[in-house]
Amino acid sequence: MIDRIASASTFVGAIGSALMAGVLLAFSISVLPGLKTLPVPVAMSSMQSANAAILNPLFLILFMGTALSCVVAAAATPFTDGGRSALIITGAVLYVVGCFAVTVMLNVPLNDALAAADSTTATGAATWEKFATEWVLWNNVRIAAATAACAVLILGQGRSALG
């Protein structure tokens, strides 16, 4: 039974990590570069709307469900006969720390500061500049962590195109 739980949670964690990496990548390669071409008030308003819109049940299930799956996989895998516990635990840590914790501790506060900013003031413009630089930096960390988590979880599951 524990083997099935470990296997299923590792699989779900890998797929969730891949999906999260894709969602985050879209922001770094299209949304933010596009917003940077707009006047600051329009860019801020657009990003404020995007930040509000992403807080929906589907995204939250994906984001939090992946973290939960990774925690379950890391907790269950040492009790299996798979012999790949270190890989699965590493993959889980990559997602939980590098994607989930970075989001909560770094990106969300930047989102909150942007939400509270007035786009028509100099202070608001400074908030936007800080946001556009720092948010993308931390978003890129999340992309790398989620992508690496996916790869390591797949390897820990024993399924690889590498042989």
Query: Which tokens belong to 93?
Result: 């840590």
* pLDDT at residue number 2: 87
**Pseudo-torsion of CA 118, 124, 130, 135, nearest 10°?**
20
What is the per-residue pLDDT for 80? 82
CA dihedral 40, 41, 45, 46 (to 10 degrees): -40
Q: Name the amino acid, one letter, at 130.
A: K
- Where the chain has pLDDT below 70, the residues are 81-82, 159-163
pLDDT score, position 26:
97
**Model pLDDT, residue 82:** 66
Read off the amino acid at residue 137.
L
Q: How many CA atoms lie within 13 A of 128 on its CB side?
A: 23
C-alpha distance from residue 6 to each of 11, 92, 116, 124, 136 (Å): 9, 12, 42, 47, 33
Q: Which residues of 96-116 are buried (b: 16+ CB within 10 A; e: fewer)?
A: bebbbebbeebbeebbeebee
CB atoms within 10 A of CB 5: 16
Q: Which pLDDT score, from 0 to 100, does residue 161 have?
A: 46
Query: pTM for the complete prediction?
Result: 0.92
> What is residue 159's predicted lDDT score, i.e. its pLDDT?
58
